[in-house]
Amino acid sequence: MTNTKQTETIKRRYNRISSAFDFMDRIIREKWRKELLQHAKGKVLEVGVGTGLNLKYYPDHAEVTGIDFSPAMLQKAREKADRMPQHFELLEMDAQQMNFSDNTFDTVVTTCVFCSVPDPVKGLKEIRRVTKPEGKIIMLEHMRSNNEFFGKTMDILNPIGLHIVGANINRKTMENIQQADMKVENEEFLMTSVMRKLLLSPNKE
């Protein structure tokens, strides 16, 4: 399957589950969201804003733009944003090909996004491109377990989740970050090695 076809397939799956997504996304604890987003500063980009579950946790001073490739998910996010005092710019956009200039954002945020981006390295390189040299990337991502038994189990189960939701549960995200030339400044395990909170530098000279 080509990247374009795969992107469209996953988009359709997320459009389909948008009404149930808030319930499904309870894997991310409220405490984790609060702790992650307190570090968002300046001009902020949230990649894969989804139904907008993170929006209420942003500091008031943050200037937030959120993107997602699913219009149905974005509609849910806009409904949440309309009930909040802050202004959020929410745009339909593919993480693999962003319509932003180089070095635009002070902070880039992702929460359980890179399980779904068809070409994760391409998406990560786009994040690196749009982040200012002194900017930060903060991520809360689930990925393949470091435990050999659980990792292989995730490999076996992955086609089921991918077919139903469009999410890969066995992505080797740390390797993908390395391929995208970004630098890991801090890594914290939240659920053994499956869920991790990451602080990255775009690693630009």
3-state secondary structure the chain: CCHHHHHHHHHHHHHHHHHHHHHHHHHCCHHHHHHHHCCCCCEEEEECCCCCCCHHHCCCCCEEEEEECCHHHHHHHHHHHCCCCCCEEEEECECCECCCCCCCEEEEEEECCCCCCCCHHHHHHHHHHHEEEEEEEEEEEECCCCCHHHHHHHHHHHHHHHHHCCCCCCCCHHHHHHHCCCEEEEEEEEECCCEEEEEEECCCC
Q: What is the pLDDT of residue 139?
A: 96
Q: What is the pLDDT of residue 120?
A: 93
Q: What is the pLDDT of residue 89?
A: 97
Ranges of the chain whose pLDDT falls below 50 = 1-2, 18, 20, 22-24
Distance CA 4, CA 78 (A): 26
For residue 54, CA distances in Å to 33, 84, 131, 148 come to 7, 12, 20, 32
Distance CA 199, CA 185 (A): 5
Per-residue model confidence as pLDDT tens digits over 155-170: 676 676 666 665 777 7
Q: What is the pLDDT of residue 23?
A: 46
Q: What is the pLDDT of residue 116?
A: 83
For residue 196, CA distances in Å to 22, 77, 134, 147, 176 come to 20, 24, 23, 14, 14
CB contact at 8 A, 72 and 100: no
Count of all residues that appear for the chain in the document: 205
Query: Which token pair is 60?
Result: 């008031």
Q: What is the pLDDT of residue 199?
A: 97
In CATH terms, the superfamily for domain 3-201 is Vaccinia Virus protein VP39 (3.40.50.150)
- Looking from the CA of 91 toward its CB, the CA atoms found within 13 Å total 15
Residue with tokens 């998406």: 123
Q: What is the pTM of this model?
A: 0.85
